[in-house]
Structure 1
Amino acid sequence: MAKNGLSGTEKRVAFSLASVFGLRMMGLFMIMPVFALYGQHLQGFSPLWVGIAIGAYGLTQALLQIPMGILSDKIGRKPVILAGLLVFAAGSVVAAMSDTIYGVVAGRALQGMGAIAAAVLALAADLTRDEQRTKVMAIIGMCIGGSFALALLAGPVVTQYLGLSGLFGLTAVLALVGMVIMYLLVPNPVGHAPSGDTTADAGKLLKMLKDPQLFRLDAGIFLLHLTLTAVFVALPLDLVDAGLVKEHHWMLYFPAFVLSFMLMVPMIIIGVKRQNTKQMFQIALVIMVVALSIMALFAHSLVALCVAIIAFFTAFNYLEASLPSLISKFCPIGAKGSAMGVYSTSQFLGAFCGGVLGGSAYQMVGAEGVFCVGIVLMLVWLALTFGMKNPKLLKSYTLEANVDGREHARKMATELSQLTGVAEAIVVLEEKVAYLKVDDKFDLRQARAVLGSAS
């Protein structure tokens, strides 16, 4: 195994799981830029039901995300992931065969029931070394972001030629391709990574919600995806009204997303170098408010909408990329699985609520009302950030511990906490692991010496 980089197996794990995750997320996202435009022939069509159809997957995802992760601890990661992809494909078929909007909603809800995110991330942790795990998770995260960009490109193009039924049919095919990748390319794990790192502990969930820093981040991802889903109920219709025919929307979305990604990278670099993540967060939220204000005030100007979309995606990409990292920095050591479980549930619940709220607002007060709701929500989030702390630059380690009793575990934790560079340390007897948060002065060899010592 390579000492300083990903091994061949870890690279295979990273890119195969990223592909599975990306194909599934692309299938979920492709509907967003097109449904309000191409779903008007469906029986029961209305702005409210458009929003519900776009966001329906979020409700079932939110309800099943944590249980599916826990189930993967009991029966295995790959069976849960394969079953989830099959359910997702079934939901896509239901939506493709529907000639009413209610059938599409049912299909989207069934897609969400294939909630595999927690199991995929847990499998990635099972198959990678602790010191390389962050790189693997970053590759998966980048693939998710890329899938969103590709969905904005592919959604309008596929729907133009194949219609909505063809789009949903393609999402079913993508899920089946994901199953093939899972079966053929992803290795079978020989053991589980420590559960504190991977899946949620039901006993810790309330504690995660009560933590003020984590609550701000969970509320933030909820509001971010609520706003994203609501905006895509109204934005495609506004672009048509501004003179951009629906067949050409991808020509705006895709370049705007790529350009916004390029603008977002300097924001991340500045935030990390100056250790002022809080301030960059607030700047991103101000950019989001400005973008939504332009959408509300200049709905019939294509140039203004182009500028607003670039600004919106710049802020969205920064916030979306920064939040998971902040969760891992603020969560208590040994509780990352629980913290990410609450975070993911908040994300998907936000998507569902955004569809309902966006559809309701559009039906009652039009597109301008949707954007104004988004402005209010971003201002609420901005107010929440004033109590946010800048995180310390710490790394997390999960190491095997040669521990044979509670007294030995307590002694080992004390010795670890006294090492140079260690900010926090706990030893979990049941899992025989030590969780550490450390700074750049930390010497891994000293920690391994303590963890391998006899009682």
Structure 2
Amino acid sequence: MISISMTAKERHAAAALAGIFGVRMLGMFMILPVFALYAEHLADVTPLLIGVAIGIYGLTQALLQIPFGMASDRLGRKPVIVAGLLLFAAGSVVAALADSIHGVIIGRALQGAGAVAAAVMALVADLTREEHRTKAMAFIGMSIGLSFVVAMVLGPVLNQWFGVPGIFWLTAVLALGGIALLLLAVPNPPHTQRHRDAEPVAGQFGRILCDGQLLRLDFGILTLHMVLTASFVVVPLVLRDIGFAPARHWLLYLPVMVLAITLAIPFIIVAEKKHKLKQVLLGAIAALALAMLGMGVLGESLGAMALWLLLFFTAFNLLEATLPSLVSKFAPADARGTAMGVYSSSQFIGAFIGGTVGGGLHGLYGLYSVFLFAAAALGLWWLAALGMRQPRYLASHLLKVGTMAPSQAAMLSGELMAVRGVAEAVVNGEEGVAYLKVDSQQLDRTALERYSLPES
């Protein structure tokens, strides 16, 4: 029988790893609402270099997260994660000590080089059974979302207490705390193996990069984080220039973030439950473009900026929730990890492009030009998303079937496809796992369980 609930050990491991992921992202996000104001006083500063400093972590993260994940297959999960967190802490210290914009850029690049995301996901997969892996991954996703919300409010508060250098020092301490949590609270996996549902596989990149539906989603997450990063190169400066003191910025971000999450939830439910993902996606992109256009044309008062920021974060939260769901639905059953790896790298590349382009436009054409650029980029994404197919509303499902020869695996794939509710089945005989896409409402679970190995 397939167990319905996670064991205490699985819940403990998932929560601890979500905590490690969350504190790392908290440290990364906290400077977003405050750095542009702080950086004006650094040596050698230009608007372009401010943008590079904000976004450079995305470039090194995008370049190194997949190699880090693959290295963890050979060197072990925990050593690679510890090395990544040490790099992240070192980058935070470099940025804290820097008195020039170039020093901060080096520090931020080092922060991004501690790219442990793929290795953490792989460790989660090692420590959870196949049928519960999606729940464990959801813990990680929630920790990232919560970190972003907390960081947008906490960043301005901490900036008033001990400044941006103090935030960087705190970030270094959080990274070291993450190492302690990893070593003391996360159990060692009984064995390490590659999990196609949770981490990239080298031989699958060609297939993923040639899939037009997945490429639309990769372009989407790149654009979303490009727009976010570009906007926050200038949003703190706009708020200051319209007379809203930086010490009070958190008083705007707190209600905006809480309301935005509240407003996004009904749309997320409609998207999934009513099978309206594409329609909700197009509406959210349009709302985001409207928010950017509003900031660029009508963003010269506090009331207007509050309204546009509320629309922005409502649409942003909605897209952050729906895009990964769409990737999972469009990805081949046995290549979800690779698809998510490319998607995640696209997100970080978008952050780098957004910071760099946002800083450059600010320097050349002024603050409000950044918002107009963002609105135009979102218009291109809307056109690309318009051609996306309606997704199949199928869930990913893993089944432990035991190792077997390729011929047996092929035969079993055919048998699984005959089970009511199974739309796609790929059996990897070497791993002893069947990767399935299933219609949860139609699935004959009793018939499927006959193929599952009993728990050891």
Which TM-score tier does this pair reach, normalised by the shorter chain?
over 0.9
Q: Percent identity?
A: 50
Q: Does 1:285 align with 2:285?
A: yes
Deviation at 1:445, TM superposition (A): 3.7
Distance 2:339 2:198 in 1: 10
Aligned to 1:88: 88
Aligned to 2:417: 417
Deviation at 1:5, TM superposition (A): 2.4
Deviation at 1:403, TM superposition (A): 4.5
Could you tell me which amino acid in structure 1 is paired with residue 64 of structure 2?
Answer: L
Aligned to 2:25: 25
Deviates more, 1:303-312 or 1:146-155: 146-155
Deviation at 1:400, TM superposition (A): 1.9
Could you tell me which amino acid in structure 1 is paired with residue 448 of structure 2?
Answer: A
Following superposition of structure 1 onto structure 2, how do residues 381-400 of structure 1 map, counting pairs within 5 Å? 381-400=381-400
Could you tell me which amino acid in structure 2 is paired with residue 145 of structure 1?
Answer: G
Following superposition of structure 1 onto structure 2, how do residues 58-69 of structure 1 map, counting pairs within 5 Å? 58-69=58-69
Deviation at 1:396, TM superposition (A): 1.5
Whether the 8 Å contact between 1:403 and 1:451 is mirrored in structure 2 is no
**CA distance 1:181–1:452, change in 2 (3 Å):** closer
Deviation at 1:419, TM superposition (A): 1.3
Distance 2:141 2:195 in 1: 20
Distance 1:403 1:124 in 2: 22
Deviates more, 1:217-226 or 1:387-396: 387-396
Aligned to 1:167: 167
Aligned to 1:121: 121
Distance 2:15 2:445 in 1: 28
Deviates more, 1:151-160 or 1:57-66: 151-160
**Secondary structure in 2 matching 1:5:** coil
Whether the 8 Å contact between 2:23 and 2:147 is mirrored in structure 1 is yes
Aligned to 2:259: 259
**Could you report, residue by residue, the CA deviation over 1:378-434 in whole angstroms, capped at 9, with x for unpaired residues?**
101100111112222212122222343222111111111111111011111221211
Aligned to 1:331: 331
**Secondary structure in 1 matching 2:344:** helix
**Secondary structure in 2 matching 1:249:** helix
**Secondary structure in 1 matching 2:233:** helix
TM-score by length of 1: 0.97
Could you tell me which amino acid in structure 2 is paired with residue 19 of structure 1?
Answer: G
Deviation at 1:448, TM superposition (A): 3.8
Ranges in structure 1 where 5+ consecutive residues have no aligned partner: none
Runs of 4+ in 1 over 3 A off after TM superposition: 450-453
Aligned to 2:220: 220
Distance 2:428 2:46 in 1: 53
Deviation at 1:195, TM superposition (A): 2.3
Whether the 8 Å contact between 2:125 and 2:195 is mirrored in structure 1 is no
**Could you report, residue by residue, the CA deviation over 1:307-326 in whole angstroms, capped at 9, with x for unpaired residues?**
00010000000101111121
Aligned to 1:238: 238
Aligned residues between the structures: 453
Following superposition of structure 1 onto structure 2, how do residues 324-403 of structure 1 map, counting pairs within 5 Å? 324-403=324-403
Aligned to 1:318: 318
Could you tell me which amino acid in structure 2 is paired with residue 91 of structure 1?
Answer: G
Deviation at 1:2, TM superposition (A): 10
Aligned to 2:428: 428
Aligned to 1:442: 443
Could you tell me which amino acid in structure 2 is paired with residue 411 of structure 1?
Answer: M
Could you tell me which amino acid in structure 2 is paired with residue 368 of structure 1?
Answer: Y
Following superposition of structure 1 onto structure 2, how do residues 128-143 of structure 1 map, counting pairs within 5 Å? 128-143=128-143
TM-score by length of 2: 0.96
**CA distance 1:2–1:253, change in 2 (3 Å):** farther
Ranges in structure 2 where 5+ consecutive residues have no aligned partner: none
Deviation at 1:446, TM superposition (A): 2.2
Deviates more, 1:434-443 or 1:235-244: 434-443
Aligned to 2:106: 106
Deviation at 1:42, TM superposition (A): 0.6
Distance 1:192 1:391 in 2: 33
**Could you report, residue by residue, the CA deviation over 1:86-117 in whole angstroms, capped at 9, with x for unpaired residues?**
11000000001110000000000000000001
**Secondary structure in 2 matching 1:195:** coil
Deviates more, 1:148-157 or 1:435-444: 435-444
Deviation at 1:194, TM superposition (A): 4.7
